[in-house]
Structure formats: structure tokens, C-alpha cells
Amino acid sequence: MRIAIAGSSGLIGTALGEALEARGDELVRLVRRPPAHAGEVRWDPAAGQLDPAALEDVSAIVNLAGAGIGDKRWTAAYKQTLIDSRVDSTHTIAEAIAHLDAPVRLVNGSAMGYYGDRGEETLDEDAAPGTGFLADLVTAWESAAAPASAVGSPVAFARTGLVIAPDGGLMSRVLPLAKLGLGGPLGSGRQWWSWMSLPDEVAALVHLVDHPEITGPVNLSVPAETAVRQRDAMRALGRQLHRPAVLPAPAPALKIVLGEFANDVLASTLMAPTVLQRSGFEWSMHDIDDVMRYAARGA
């Protein structure tokens, strides 16, 4: 297949591109700079510019574009950047799809932030949105794909949980602390972490590309029964690094360091990936010790 990817240089996008090319797919990478070769197409999501002709022979588009949630302190300006980078990219792609002669599969990035802080509640794809900045962001993000859905294109929203990999993403923040024995509980440590290994995250996205009959929100995490509480995840990492994981980071201190983002770091979200399970998807990593052994390679 010929598949377009937006956000192909990020942690997930890079791994996804490698997986698709390894199985023989032809990639079209959407880039904001002048194209370096024939496999790249220039676009400007902030200006809403993407030539539909560049997507004429594409079977599917995977949109992973968006500024990093935890990259900077959430000032008013950066919160707007987080919104615009996702809504603009999604709307630009959806509008381009709407101008094509035939429907094109869209697998659009999304996030478990849609559900907000929900304590002990188990959340499948039918759960209502939560409250707070991220919940509002994700709602706007998914709504931006409406032009593609309106013309009959099958759209899936990959509501991604915490992606665990040896380098990049969550572990780029956690591993340096854990190596020093500082990977203890964040706040109470009782909050649920709905995680997914990077290989399984990529496999799930490929699964969605290959199954256009799956539409709407899709939770990308391990099954709810293998989710863990934050403190237990850090203990599992500590075991792999042979370091203690007991020193806590109190909630007030996190709020001083991280600002508003601390509320989402401390949030408890227990996702149930019901759509993936019913569609026959199989995970390669279920156990937290296995995934932390994999993550510890980056230490």
C-alpha cells in the first residue's frame, strides 16, 4: 500500500514508518520544509495548505502531528500551541481528503487525556469525556476530522495511553531519575497507568491501517486487567535497574515544578481497549516487568 504519515519524525512516527517500510509499503511523509526526495510532500497545517493531488494514490493516512504535551510548561501560549498543532493538522488533512475522488482511510492521533482524571473507573471507548484542558483539547482534535467523515472516509481515532520505549517519550523523563533511585511515587502513586509498549503501539496503528472497518475512537493500551498503578510501574523499573523506587514526589512539589501539567501527571485513567480486543489484536507485551525490562535497555 501507499501510506502517508504526518508526524513521521517523532518517536511513534519513526517506528511506524520503519515497520511499514519493512513490510513493503510505500511511504509519503508530510513535511513542513522543502521536500528532500520524492517520498516527501510539503504541507503547511497552520495555513491549512495540503495539495489533495499529493494524496490521490494513497490508501491510508496516519496523522501523528502535534506539539509535545510534556515538552514545555503549560503557559497560555503553549496551551494554544498544543491545541493548534493538533486541530490544524487534522483539519488540513481532513479537508484534503474531502476533495479526493474516493474515500481514504484516516488513522488520526488522539490521547487518553480525553477521559481526564477518573479514579477507579474503567473506561472503554463509549465512556463520556472527562473535564480539564486535555479533555477539551482531545475533543476539539477529534472533531477536526469531520470533513473526512462527512464524505464517507473511514476515520479512526487512536486514543493512545502511556507509550513505553527505551528512548524518547515518557521514559526519557523517567529513566534518568530511576537510575538515581528517585523513581518513586508521583503524588499518592495510586493513579492508574494505562500503558502500551512502543512495538505494540506501532502494531496497533498498523492494525488500524489494515482494518478500515474500524472507525471512531480506539483505546491504545494494554487490557485493563494488566494496567498498573504508577507506584507499581516504578517499582518494576527499579527492579530492572537494581535501584530503589521509594522516594516520593509530593503532589504540591510537582505542581510547583510542572505547573498545570502536574494535574495530568497525577491523573488516574484506567482504559479498556475494547475495540482492539474485539477486532482480534494481539499484544506482544502484557506484563509490566517485561515492558520495563525492554525500557531499561535505554538506561
pLDDT 10s digits, 209-220: 999 999 999 999
pLDDT of residue 43: 98
- State yes or no: pLDDT of 254 exceeds 90: no
* C-alpha angle 277-278-283 in degrees, rounded to nearest 5: 25
Q: Which 3 state secondary structure label does DSSP give 286?
A: coil
pLDDT of residue 185: 84
* C-alpha angle 171-66-150 in degrees, rounded to nearest 5: 130
pLDDT of residue 123: 98
Domain containing residue 211: CATH number: 3.40.50.720
Could you give the count of Cα atoms lying within 13 Å of 75 in the half-sphere of its Cβ? 4
The position carrying cell 535497555 is: 297
The position carrying cell 507485551 is: 285
Question: How far from chain centre, in Å, is Cα 232?
Answer: 22
pTM of the model: 0.94
Write out the three cell numbers for 84: 493548534
Query: What mean pLDDT is predicted for residues 188-192?
Result: 92
Q: What is the four-CA torsion angle of 213, 216, 219, 220, rounded to 10 degrees?
A: 60
Q: What is the pLDDT of residues 110-143, one digit of tens each?
A: 999 999 999 999 999 999 999 999 999 999 999 9
Query: What mean pLDDT is predicted for residues 7-12?
Result: 94
Query: What mean pLDDT is predicted for residues 236-248?
Result: 85
Residue 179: domain span: 2-298
Long-range Cβ contact pairs of 261-265 (< 8 A, separation 24 or more)? 261/69, 261/70, 261/73, 261/74, 263/117, 263/132, 264/69, 264/113, 264/117, 264/132, 264/133, 264/134, 265/186
Residues 6 or more apart in contact with residue 241 via CB below 8 angstroms: 178, 179, 296, 299
**Range in 12-21, 200-209, 289-298 the model is least confident about:** 289-298
Residue 191 or residue 265, greater confidence: 191
pLDDT of residue 32: 95
Q: What is the pLDDT of residues 53-98, one digit of tens each?
A: 999 899 999 999 999 988 888 899 999 999 999 999 999 999 999 9
- State yes or no: pLDDT of 258 exceeds 70: no
pLDDT of residue 73: 86
Alpha-carbon distance of 180 to 176, in angstroms, equals 7
pLDDT of residue 253: 63
- State yes or no: pLDDT of 298 exceeds 80: no
- State yes or no: pLDDT of 188 exceeds 90: no
Burial class (CB in 10 A: 0-12, 13-18, 19+), 132: middle
Check: CB of residue 57 under 8 Å from CB of residue 35.
Answer: no
- The total domain count for the chain is 1
Least Cα distance to 292 among 243, 219, 250 occurs for: 243
Write out the three cell numbers for 176: 534518568
For residue 113, CA distances in Å to 141, 189, 192, 233, 286 come to 11, 18, 13, 19, 22
Check: CB of residue 13 under 8 Å from CB of residue 202.
Answer: no
